[in-house]
Amino acid sequence: MKQKLERIMSCLKDSSGNVKLSLVIMGGGQFRYGAKGKGILFFLLQLSIIFYFITRGFRDIEGFFTLGTKKGDVWLGVAGDNSVIMLLMGIFAWVVLAAYLYFYVMNISDVYRMQKRLEQGRRNPTFKEEVKQLWDKKFYVTVLALPVAGVFVFNVLPIIFMILIAFTNYGGTVVPPELVDWVGFYNFKRLLSLSQFAPTFVKILTWNLLWAVTSTALNYIAGLFLALLFERDCVKGKAFWRTFPVLAYATPAFITLLAFKFMFSYGGPINQLILSGGGTAIGFLDLDAKWTARLIGLLVNCWISTPSIMLLATGILSNRDSSLYEAAKIDGAGKWKQLLKITMPFVLFSTLPVLIVQFVGNFNNFGVFYFLRGGLYLDGYFLASDTDLLINWLYNLSINNNYYCLGAAISLIIFIIISIISLAVYIKSPSYREEDTFR
């Protein structure tokens, strides 16, 4: 850091008048060095950003801190401040400010580079040449500019928004036109200090971890099994058979879940069969069915998720080195040994990052138990049931009550738990430690 600062200071001392001009007026130095097009572009950029900040940017940044001072009242015709919009626009203003700083630094380093080139007696590229570079050497910049901007607007901005919501009192009765306020770590303090939470949190977290590990493993094994099965020469009409898992994959998950809920209900076909066979109806998913419901959840999730693993594994298996199998066969290794020693390490190596994504997805699998067995608060659980995952509990506690700030705080906690687990697994994995093994 210190070295960086020293470098900047020495560059500043070393800079020409044109560079200093660019420090004040973006593009000024470039313009005087003859790169008029680029200079004008930089200048227009600075002008438009200054215009934005004068017309609303500064107000948005102020609004980011105050989150509004005037409460609206539609009945009285008072147009008040909308805290949520102010927060959003405030974040946007910060992003614009960051972008301005980025372009400002780019402008300085560009003009400094121009100065150095001229001092070395080299010619500076013309505007046309620089634009041409964007289609050639720097094509990646051209291609990535739009997606990066898109990611910022549609991904980063909402994530920052959600994180910041955790530090406000937004939700419950505090929704526009009421004014939202910053409350610091109050929401986190409240979550940690509530005595009712701890026992339920421990129970749900334990089940959540068990669920995430079991369902990920089950889906993975089932997907791999199907892929290996359809790879075998003895299977006729492979494309035909592969269609069925793909169909299950193509059906929207919530429709599949509702269909399974109906199948396992008291009036559903499974119980009808049991009754017609002279048996008594079974409450597969009712409030006494803790482990049955959990098992059904695992199997239904397997039904939904296996096809994606199967497709992934099918692609990876097609790249297998058949000579390895031939060599193993000569060495006397049976099919099981070949699976354990060649196929599994090969597939695992390639799919571990995907497996982590699957784990995260399953850890946060809201739909399975919401659709299969939602709407129950059971004994021994605080506003939750014995099949609820943390994400379902979060929904009961916060979103169901419109406590967006607490929802955001719990989401952050879940995010931290998942990040730690995922990173620990990934860093320990061969995919990370032995990157070149299968290259």
Partner 1 sequence: MKKKRIILLSLTLTAVLGILSGCGDGAATEDVGTEVDGRTEGAAGNIQGSSVFTGELEHNVTIRVLENDTAISKGYAKELLDAFNQEYAEYGIKAVDANMDQYLDLANDGPYGYGPDVLYQANDVIMQYTEGKHIYPIPVQEMECYDQIPEIAWNAYETEVGGNTYCCGVPVNVQAPMLYYRKDMLPENWETEWDKDGNGVCDIVENWNAMYAFSVLRHEENPLNYGYMKALYDVYFSGGFLFSYGGYLFGENNTNPEDIGFSAGEAEKGAWVLSQLAGAMNEECIDNTINTTVYGKIADGTYFATLSTPDVYSTFVGELAKAYEGEGMSDKEANELATENLMMASVPKLPESGDLSEENPSLLDPKSMGGINGYAVSSYTKAPNACLAFVEFATSFEMMKLRNEMLGVAPAREDVAEAVGGVSRQLYENLEKGNIILMPSIREVSQIWTPGETFFIDIAKDAFRNAEEKKYKELPDLKKGLEQVDSQIHDAIFTLK
Contacts with partner 1 by CB under 8 A lie at 73-77, 82, 172-173, 175-178, 190, 194, 196, 262, 265-268, 271, 281, 283, 285-288, 375-379, 382-383, 396-398, 400-401, 403, 406
Q: Which is nearer to partner 1, 352 or 376 (CB)?
A: 376
Q: Which residue lies nearer to partner 1 by CB, 198 or 247?
A: 198
Query: Between residues 21 and 389, which has the closer beta carbon with respect to partner 1?
Result: 389
Give the nearest distance from C-beta 87 to partner 1 in angstroms: 15
- Could you tell me the smallest distance in angstroms from the CB atom of residue 312 to partner 1? 36
Residue 195 CB, shortest distance to partner 1, in Å, is 10
Minimum CB distance to partner 1 smaller for 133 or for 402: 402
Q: What does the block give as tokens for 300?
A: 């239904």
Residue 281 beta carbon to partner 1: minimum distance, rounded to whole angstroms: 4
Cα dist. 18→70, 147, 348 in Å? Answer: 47, 34, 57
Look up residue 292 and give its two tokens.
């049955």
SS3 63: helix
Q: Least separation, in Å, of the C-beta of 382 and partner 1?
A: 7
Nearer to partner 1, 103 or 404 (CB): 404
C-alpha distances in Å from residue 367, one per residue of 76, 226, 316, 395: 43, 24, 29, 11
Whole-angstrom distance, CA of residue 431 vs CA of residue 439: 12
Identify which of residues 85 and 229 has a Cβ nearer to partner 1 in the complex. 85
> Minimum distance from CB of 74 to partner 1 (Å)?
4
Residues in the chain: 439
The nearer residue to partner 1, 45 or 372, going by C-beta atoms, is 372
Please, which contacts does 230-235 make with residues 24 or more away whose CB atoms are closer than 8 Å? 230/310, 230/314, 231/314, 231/317
Q: Where are the alpha helices (DSSP H) in 232-268?
A: 238-250, 253-264
Least distance in angstroms from the C-beta of 377 to partner 1: 5
- How many CB atoms within 10 Å of residue 97? 16
Instruction: Tell me the β-bridge partners of 174.
Output: 171
Output the smallest distance, CB 30 to partner 1, in A: 42
CB 234 within 8 A of CB 249: no
- Alpha carbon 246 to its chain's center: 25
CB 20 within 8 A of CB 111: no
Rounded least distance, CB 178 to partner 1, Å: 7
Helices (H), ranges, 120-196: 127-134, 139-151, 157-165, 186-193
Which residues on neighbouring strands pair with residue 417, listed in sequence order? none
| 8-state DSSP, 226 | H
Q: Where are the beta strands (DSSP E) in 85-159?
A: none
Nearer to partner 1, 107 or 385 (CB): 385
Nearer to partner 1, 26 or 384 (CB): 384
Do 407 and 394 meet the contact criterion of CB atoms below 8 Å apart?
yes
Measured distance CA(45)–CA(63) in Å, rounded:
24
For partner 1, which is the closer residue by CB, 101 or 192? 192
User: Are 60 and 80 contacting, i.e. CB atoms less than 8 angstroms apart?
Assistant: no
Amino acid identity at 154: F
For residue 182, the cross-strand partners are 168
Give, in order, the Cα–Cα distances in Å from 179 to each of 161, 360, 404: 16, 35, 14
User: What is the nearest approach in angstroms of partner 1 to the Cβ of residue 354?
Assistant: 36
Residue 152 beta carbon to partner 1: minimum distance, rounded to whole angstroms: 22
Measured from the CB atom, is 76 or 250 closer to partner 1?
A: 76
